[in-house]
Structure 1
Amino acid sequence: MSDDDWIPPPVLVAVDLVIFTLRDSVLQVLLVERGIEPFRGAWALPGGFLADDREDVLAAAHRELKEEADLDASRLHLEQLGAYGKPDRDPRGRVLSVAYLAIAPGLPEPRAGTDAAHATWTPVPDILDGRVRLAFDHHEIFGDGLEWARSKLERSALATAFCRETFTINELQQVYEAVWGLGLDSRNFYRKVQAAEGFIVPVGAERREGRGRPARLFKAGDRTTINPPLVRPAAEAREGKS
């Protein structure tokens, strides 16, 4: 076929958003209940089609987050997760979706709008154990986003953003356990955190937790990356580390 005979295939471009936050010490993701077909009444990640051929993809992500959940995307640092384009991913036709994601503390209650009947924060374990099922291929996108969030805590100081201005190492450990979805050995976690230079800094005060000895208080250090990284136990086992 010559270039003159080539006809570009009809492809629609959409955006999907994976937004995580911690609420009540549980990692939660933003979901919307679809108010239109296909999958009317099903839960899905917020998102939608580009408004026109002049709209930037990132601008579309910001717009959809505002329209579907009434959240201000300017408060979030959205990172591009990837592109999803399996031919049968959307029954309406060939749709290429660019997925963006973010993890941030203190996000407000969402409010549904446009084609979303309802918007809510949903505990991540409810999706992982199958109690909440997602429309389209959003379970795959969600899974990729969850792995990104978990990896982010290994190598960045993001976890401190979910703590108060001063916090104990136990409180910091609870953030890691919530995002990673597993329990951690306290002594091993303490050792790793203390070995990461500039990650957290003692403030010279203590806080009593329960009936035990008062726990030392820390604040976030000036480092945005963690070196050495806090590798998840499962990853350590795969790499043959102790």
Structure 2
Amino acid sequence: MYSPSDFPPFAVTVDLVVLTVRDDALCALLVRRGEAPYRGRWALPGGFVRATESVADAAVRELAEETGVSGLFLEQLATYGEPRRDPRMRVVSVAHLALAAGLPVPVAGTDAAAARWVPVDQAPALAFDHSRILRDGVERARAKLEYTPLAAEFCGPEFTVAELRRVYEIVWGVPLDPRNFHRKVTGVEGLLVPTGETTGRDGGRPAAVFRRGPAQALYPPLVRP
């Protein structure tokens, strides 16, 4: 017969990997912990799920409380449940991911002593297992650019192929061959719509100007080198 006493209690938390492009770098939203454990260490935003709320609601609440950032689409990234990942007690964390453009300067709140955008390649060692969660989130975000038109959101309403390529280079963290990239993106049905205009803002010869097309998925996908 089932008995609750046979199973020790444990807590559920949420951790948020929130990424954007700022100053030509892929940046993650980090908070400095204001309370033990790991007081003073940088970490991902997050916290405990309340008994009366869903995991999804907890993710939205914790992000807003600790950083002032709201209104994002948050997708579940993975679940992390190593027995000793939290020194306080057994804690299972459901991590969430957001990759979005135009995100504001964060404002720290509740138990976060500070909040800021940090380039992912300059992130310090994070509290708990958050460095691992951040790596997993960055990898998921990079993969999303292979099969979704998300990169175009980081460009203006009208953009050149070179400007779009720069977004891919920043998020993927690798340089891309201009000719190959141009051939691939212009070959994806519904990704780009020509405006009929040209611009010289990229330098060199005038470049064609595009706007985002109706495609919701990229086929063929843009595979990372």
Which TM-score applies when normalising by structure 2? 0.97
| Letter matched to residue 47 of structure 2 | G
Residue number in structure 2 paired with 1:29: 28
Residue number in structure 2 paired with 1:96: 92
1:206 aligned counterpart, secondary structure: strand
Residue number in structure 1 paired with 2:18: 19
Task: Measure the CA separation in 1 of the matches of 2:165 and 2:57.
Answer: 35
Matched, 1:182 2:174: yes
Deviation (angstroms), 1:6: 5.2
Percent identity over the alignment?
54
Deviation (angstroms), 1:188: 0.6
Task: Measure the CA separation in 1 of the matches of 2:3 and 2:89.
Answer: 25
Deviation (angstroms), 1:186: 0.4
1:3 aligned counterpart, secondary structure: coil
**Correspondences of 1:79-94 after superposition (within 5 Å):** 79-94=75-90
Label 1:81 to 1:204 Cα distance change in 2 as closer, same or farther (>3 A): same
Matched, 1:141 2:133: yes
Residue number in structure 1 paired with 2:56: 58
Deviation (angstroms), 1:119: 0.2
> 5+ residue gaps in structure 1?
234-242
Residues 162 and 202 of structure 2 are in contact (CA less than 8 Å); yes or no, is this contact kept in structure 1? no
Residue number in structure 1 paired with 2:143: 151
Task: Measure the CA separation in 2 of the matches of 1:36 and 1:196.
Answer: 49
Aligned length: 225
Matched, 1:195 2:193: no
2:6 aligned counterpart, secondary structure: coil
Deviation (angstroms), 1:209: 2.7
Deviation (angstroms), 1:183: 0.4
2:52 aligned counterpart, secondary structure: coil
Residues 20 and 28 of structure 2 are in contact (CA less than 8 Å); yes or no, is this contact kept in structure 1? yes
| Letter matched to residue 47 of structure 1 | G
1:178 aligned counterpart, secondary structure: helix
**Correspondences of 1:93-132 after superposition (within 5 Å):** 93-127=89-123, 132=124
| Letter matched to residue 169 of structure 1 | V
Task: Measure the CA separation in 1 of the matches of 2:109 and 2:156.
Answer: 32
2:12 aligned counterpart, secondary structure: strand
Deviation (angstroms), 1:95: 0.2
| Letter matched to residue 46 of structure 2 | G
Label 1:101 to 1:217 Cα distance change in 2 as closer, same or farther (>3 A): same
Task: Measure the CA separation in 1 of the matches of 2:11 and 2:4.
Answer: 22
Label 1:226 to 1:118 Cα distance change in 2 as closer, same or farther (>3 A): same
| Letter matched to residue 163 of structure 2 | E
1:100 aligned counterpart, secondary structure: strand
Residues 192 and 212 of structure 2 are in contact (CA less than 8 Å); yes or no, is this contact kept in structure 1? yes
| Letter matched to residue 105 of structure 1 | A
Deviation (angstroms), 1:142: 0.6
Residues 197 and 209 of structure 2 are in contact (CA less than 8 Å); yes or no, is this contact kept in structure 1? yes
Deviation (angstroms), 1:205: 0.3
Residues 146 and 222 of structure 2 are in contact (CA less than 8 Å); yes or no, is this contact kept in structure 1? yes
Which TM-score applies when normalising by structure 1? 0.90
Task: Measure the CA separation in 1 of the matches of 2:183 and 2:49.
Answer: 48
Residue number in structure 2 paired with 1:237: none
**Correspondences of 1:213-228 after superposition (within 5 Å):** 213-228=205-220
| Letter matched to residue 66 of structure 1 | A
